[in-house]
Chains A and B, each alone.
Chain A
Amino acid sequence: QQPVQSPQAVILREGEDAVINCSSSKALYSVHWYRQKHGEAPVFLMILLKGGEQKGHDKISASFNEKKQQSSLYLTASQLSYSGTYFCGTEDMAGTYKYIFGTGTRLKVLA
C-alpha cells in the first residue's frame, strides 16, 4: 500500500518553514526523500535508515519514527528553489532495495 503524505499541497512565502509528513501502514526499514520538478526526474535529498534518526542537509532535515511508521521532512527558511513535488520512498524490508513512493506533496514557494 502506498504511503500517505500530508499535506497534499502547500504554498509558502520565501523564508517560511514547512513540514511534510509520510505515513505508512507497514513497518519500515528505511525512508528516502526526493524532490521532483515538473517534467524532470526525482532528485535524491536524503535517506534515513534507523528508527528515530534525524538527518540534515543545509536547511532541509528529516526524522524517522520507526515505531509510528512515519517520517517527516522539515524545510526551514524556504527558498524559491524548494518548489516542486516531494515524495517519500519507503522500503519495508532490508535487502529488497525496492521503494514504494508516497502520494506526494506539491510545494510552491512564492517570492
Chain B
Amino acid sequence: GAVVSQHPSRVICKSGTSVKIECRSLDFQATTMFWYRQFPKQSLMLMATSNEGSKATYEQGVEKDKFLINHASLTLSTLTVTSAHPEDSSFYICSARARYRDILAKNIQYFGAGTRLSVL
C-alpha cells in the first residue's frame, strides 16, 4: 500500500522557536498534500491544501505567516510552525493524495503517523 512518512514524530521546543515538519510519500507521487491539526479527543481540522509547485491554500482562520507550507516536489511537503507558542502545541498530521490512473485510488488520502508538538 501507499506509505506516507512524517518526521519528526515528536518535538519539544521552547517558545519563540520555529519547527519544521516533513511529510514524504515514499512509494508514490502525491499531487496534493494536506495538513491537519488535531487537539486531544477532537476531530482532524484541515489547515491547508498544498499542491506541488504552487502556493498552499489555507483554510479560514489559519495564519499563513504562522504556518508556512512548502511543497517542493511530488514527494515532499513541509510545514514550518514559526515562532511557536504554547497554544500551537498539538498533533499535526499530513496526508497525501496519490496520483494514480485509477480514480478510486486518486480519491484516497494516505496519512502520515503524525507529529506531536509541545511548546514550552
Q: Which residues of A contact B109 (CB under 8 A)?
A: 32, 44, 89, 97, 99
Q: Which residues of B contact A101 (CB under 8 A)?
A: 36, 43-46
Q: Decide: A97 near B107, CB < 8 A? Known: A40-B114, A41-B114.
A: yes
Are A41 and B46 in contact, CB atoms less than 8 angstroms apart? Answer: no
Q: Which residues of A contact B107 (CB under 8 A)?
A: 30, 32, 47, 49, 91, 97
Interface mask (B42-74 → A, CB under 8 Å = 1, otherwise 0): 111110010000000000000000000000000
Closest to A104 in B: B43
Neighbour of A32 across the interface among B32, B36, B108, CB < 8 A: B108
Minimum distance in angstroms from B46 CB to a CB of chain A: 7
Interface mask (B99-119 → A, CB under 8 Å = 1, otherwise 0): 000001011111111101000
Q: Which residues of B contact A30 (CB under 8 A)?
A: 107
Q: Which residues of A contact B108 (CB under 8 A)?
A: 32, 44, 47
Q: Which residues of A contact B79 (CB under 8 A)?
A: none
CA–CA, A14 and B24, complex, Å: 37
A interface residue numbers (CB < 8 A to B): 2, 30, 32, 34, 39-44, 47, 49, 87, 89, 91, 97-104, 106
B interface residue numbers (CB < 8 A to A): 6, 32, 34, 36, 41-46, 49, 91, 93, 97, 104, 106-114, 116
